[in-house]
Structure 1
């Protein structure tokens, strides 16, 4: 997900914070957010203890790793990915571990933006276990992030047989909507979702989120309804971020503050909260901007590039440093190609007075036939959202 950019010389001094250095390797930096009454935490401790007694117990290791990954997604806490990897330690460095391990290893590699490694694992997993629906959907997801839409769509097709119709169609619609088939994808997914009353909450949440995103890109007024329906099913970090972006584009920052005021622990959501506070001129803005600067600095010290998109947006919109933002946006684009990445590079290139830097995005938009009203405006000379 690329050589890190040294930003310290470009950023205002007031936006920086002195990095914290532990006094010893044994110093506790932070404790996980659990409570004695948390049933999930108790289950994780039980599984962890069971695995400690028998580290080679593959079913227990897989169960614990999956639970850690799910918890990490829910809380947007990457430390849980480290715990998941630790649970898989006996098999982690094997060239040909069991297919179930390959899929989880690929999931963790995808989370750290090691897309090449993730695809290698998934290729092996699918060859060894071609009926593993999770392997197919994960590979489709990785290829979607990379902008490899034709292969991603092909990975969705087996899901129509291996999983539910809603899962297969959601996968296909999510990708085809980025590849010149937005209207058709939206109509098909909406129809299949309506005809799937017994689908799981997870399946419905995914479908509603995809419908909302397609509606946003095509300027469909139904986007608000889809977001609200998805939020009613369970607001995960991804959905909160997508809805906050929608509200910001709609000029509704007060609703963003209300939505995210209790989500300051998550960097991507704190960024959107700070953008809303900046628009409203709220006193909390300066504090949150300084906090974000410290967090991104800590990420650079860890050589963590997962949040480069957010860091570029931070530099562009909160620090007003377009040249820094452009370098970050270009580095981000070299690794992942999603509409948000395209918008970021287009905006940063224009702000930096370097429209030629956006040429890769313009070529990509032509190649993919992506239908996005905001990107269409930005692509025009002098255009803006």
Structure 2
């Protein structure tokens, strides 16, 4: 799960990076039964059923295929259910394995979005670069590229990609993209104030964009130590998009840091099918000494073990946190945190690396933390409480 991958698919949906934290499940055939749904479908499932029927009538129709794939990606972000990512790939099957130079641009952008969900950042960037070689004005490609570069810690390149959105995307998208980079590269206060001003001036912006910006503002305010403002931003985002799984996890983390575990237990009680949310629910139950805590720890451990058997490695941040905070195994936690850090470099990745380094006494991990703090100039009050994180 990742805020930095919480960036909009401008045309129809919202992009996924780690909000769905498992390898996408790809059906063996179109006839395979994936899930039996209630007779009366909710509006989302009715819409997906209609889009599936449209595509089934014309399986080679690119517009219908991309529309369905986009909606599946959006649903994966909202529910944190990785199966939807596999369904999105299946919708694009006629073009999925086409060479980069031959595949339609729409497919390449969606293929890049799905590749980033499994941490295949190199393939995702290659697809996006091909799109931009053909059409340098493709705003979605620039935004997705900026998101990946931000996640991997290449801030100058991420900022340059954000800048290419000028005149090609709504101003709120441009400014949220730039703020997301500035907030972790030594410009936190200025980035926060600018995004706050831009969001206030765009009350008519699309709800997903406003929720995205408000979530980022909440995270930025928390890192700056402005806890009251952070909570207000998170609540604004929750009002706009209460079902978003990334947002729920971010707000849950904020509440856990403030010692408000009972609120987290209530917030996430019905959302534990999502591994990232189950982790936070288990942490809340442990903090409240609930008799259900042991059961939730066992369920989470089993899910991580199943993921490892599948060769799924995108859970490492959450698994490191599980090892440190629930299993009491700092050596395993720091091992996983270092593996995770080699792939992605977000504030949450830095925090678990710093905490695991302090708990385990791993000097190499502590050096990685200090080096990144010097290099990035990130401002994060949450790191100040971690022993040795900012030592010279």
Question: Structure 2 length normalisation: TM-score?
Answer: 0.87
Hey, what does 2:9 align to over in structure 1?
none
Is the Cα–Cα contact under 8 Å of residues 102 and 122 in structure 1 kept in the other structure? Answer: yes
1:332-383 deviations in Å (ceiling 9; x for gaps): 0010000111111111111112233221221111001001112233263799
Deviation at 1:41? Answer: 1.8
Q: Superposed, which structure 2 residues align to 1:337-352 within 5 Å?
A: 337-352=345-360
1:225-253 deviations in Å (ceiling 9; x for gaps): 11111111113111111111111111111
Q: Find the aligned partners of 1:219 and 1:43 in 2 and give their Cα distance.
A: 42
Q: Find the aligned partners of 2:331 and 2:121 in 1 and give their Cα distance.
A: 27
1:161-212 deviations in Å (ceiling 9; x for gaps): 1111111101100111110000100110111111111111111101101111
1:274-299 deviations in Å (ceiling 9; x for gaps): 11111110011011001101111111
Q: Find the aligned partners of 1:204 and 1:44 in 2 and give their Cα distance.
A: 24
Hey, what does 2:211 align to over in structure 1?
205
Q: Find the aligned partners of 2:245 and 2:153 in 1 and give their Cα distance.
A: 22
* Total equivalences in the alignment: 359
Hey, what does 1:135 align to over in structure 2?
141
Hey, what does 2:92 align to over in structure 1?
88
1:355 and 2:363 are equivalent in the alignment: yes
Deviation at 1:224? Answer: 1.0
Taking structure 1 as reference, are residues 61 and 293 closer, same or farther at Cα in structure 2, changes over 3 Å only?
same
Pairing partner for 1:225 from 220, 227, 232: 232
1:102-129 deviations in Å (ceiling 9; x for gaps): 1000000001111111111111111212
1:193 and 2:199 are equivalent in the alignment: yes
1:317 and 2:317 are equivalent in the alignment: no
Pairing partner for 1:63 from 61, 67, 72: 67
Q: Superposed, which structure 2 residues align to 1:270-281 within 5 Å?
A: 270-281=278-289
Pairing partner for 1:295 from 300, 303, 328: 303
Q: Superposed, which structure 2 residues align to 1:135-214 within 5 Å?
A: 135-214=141-220
Is the Cα–Cα contact under 8 Å of residues 208 and 226 in structure 1 kept in the other structure? Answer: yes
- Tell which deviates more after alignment, 347-356 or 336-345: 347-356
1:1-52 deviations in Å (ceiling 9; x for gaps): 9xxxxxxxxxxxxxxxxxxxxxxx99x9972666533233233223223323
Deviation at 1:75? Answer: 1.1
1:347 is paired with a residue of what secondary structure?
helix
Taking structure 1 as reference, are residues 195 and 382 closer, same or farther at Cα in structure 2, changes over 3 Å only?
closer
- Tell which deviates more after alignment, 260-269 or 350-359: 350-359
Q: Find the aligned partners of 2:232 and 2:155 in 1 and give their Cα distance.
A: 27
Larger Rg: 1
1:326 and 2:337 are equivalent in the alignment: no
Is the Cα–Cα contact under 8 Å of residues 34 and 41 in structure 1 kept in the other structure? Answer: no
Hey, what does 1:48 align to over in structure 2?
52
Taking structure 1 as reference, are residues 322 and 232 closer, same or farther at Cα in structure 2, changes over 3 Å only?
same
Taking structure 1 as reference, are residues 317 and 32 closer, same or farther at Cα in structure 2, changes over 3 Å only?
farther
RMSD of the TM alignment (CA)? 2.0
2:41 is paired with a residue of what secondary structure?
coil
1:117 is paired with a residue of what secondary structure?
helix
Question: Structure 1 length normalisation: TM-score?
Answer: 0.89
1:135 is paired with a residue of what secondary structure?
helix
Q: Find the aligned partners of 1:367 and 1:184 in 2 and give their Cα distance.
A: 19
Is the Cα–Cα contact under 8 Å of residues 312 and 326 in structure 1 kept in the other structure? Answer: yes
Hey, what does 1:18 align to over in structure 2?
none
Q: Find the aligned partners of 1:89 and 1:137 in 2 and give their Cα distance.
A: 24
Structure 2: 5+ residue runs without aligned partners? 2-27
Q: Find the aligned partners of 2:132 and 2:212 in 1 and give their Cα distance.
A: 23
Taking structure 1 as reference, are residues 151 and 34 closer, same or farther at Cα in structure 2, changes over 3 Å only?
farther
Taking structure 1 as reference, are residues 173 and 31 closer, same or farther at Cα in structure 2, changes over 3 Å only?
same
Hey, what does 2:21 align to over in structure 1?
none
Is the Cα–Cα contact under 8 Å of residues 141 and 152 in structure 1 kept in the other structure? Answer: yes
Structure 1: 5+ residue runs without aligned partners? 2-24
Deviation at 1:258? Answer: 1.4
